């Protein structure tokens, strides 16, 4: 069974996170190192000339480098309640200030504007998880379906 320490303050399950699970930050760093080599830069100039169809996109390597740079910032070694996740997380700051284990212990989470920070990525998944934890407990949440 999954470990309760992988449940984020917001109710999301860190074990399901593609950033953490797939090590997006590290993989992006590794690829960025290759992209920045002189050899690869030469390929990006020459291959679109030799193979204009399949290699045309290589001429946009600077855009790729910018995307990889942004992705390399997506680094998360540990679940947020163990010090991982974003240091800028407003939800973590709120829970620590209130000295609660997670938003499920807060009576105001249903209407909390701080939780709206996650809507662009997670919609209402975190609130659905918080309701399950509040109503059925952590053990039931860990044993069941986790919304993402």
As a whole number, mean pLDDT of residues 37-51 equals 95
What integer pLDDT is reported at residue 85 of this predicted model? Answer: 81
Q: What is the pLDDT of residues 73-124, one digit of tens each?
A: 888 778 888 888 887 889 999 999 999 999 999 999 999 999 998 999 999 9
As a whole number, mean pLDDT of residues 56-70 equals 94
Whole-prediction pTM: 0.81
Domain ranges (residues) in the chain:
4-16+78-143, 24-72
What φ, ψ does residue 7 adopt, rounded to 5°?
-90, 120
Q: For residue 45, count CB atoms less than 10 angstroms from its CB and return exposed for 0-12, middle for 13-18, buried for 19 or more.
A: exposed
Strand partners, 13: 7
pLDDT at 1 over 70: no
Q: For residue 99, count CB atoms less than 10 angstroms from its CB and return exposed for 0-12, middle for 13-18, buried for 19 or more.
A: exposed
Q: What is the pLDDT of residues 110-144, one digit of tens each?
A: 999 999 989 999 999 999 999 999 999 999 999 99
Give the number of residues written for the chain.
148
């Amino acid at each position: 069974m999954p470990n309760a320490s992988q449940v984020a303050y917001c109710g999301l399950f860190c074990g399901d996170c593609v950033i953490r699970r797939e090590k997006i930050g590290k993989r992006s760093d590794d690829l960025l190192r290759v992209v920045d080599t002189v050899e690869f830069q030469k390929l990006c100039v020459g291959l679109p000339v030799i193979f204009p169809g399949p290699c045309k996109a290589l001429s946009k390597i600077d855009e790729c480098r910018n995307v990889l740079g942004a992705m390399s910032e997506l680094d998360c070694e540990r679940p947020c309640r163990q010090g991982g996740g974003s240091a800028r997380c407003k939800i973590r700051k709120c829970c620590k200030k209130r000295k609660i284990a997670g938003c499920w212990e807060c009576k105001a989470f249903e209407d909390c504007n701080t939780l709206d920070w996650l809507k662009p990525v997670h919609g209402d998944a975190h609130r659905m998880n918080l309701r399950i934890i509040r109503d059925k407990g952590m053990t039931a949440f860990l044993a069941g379906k986790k919304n993402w």
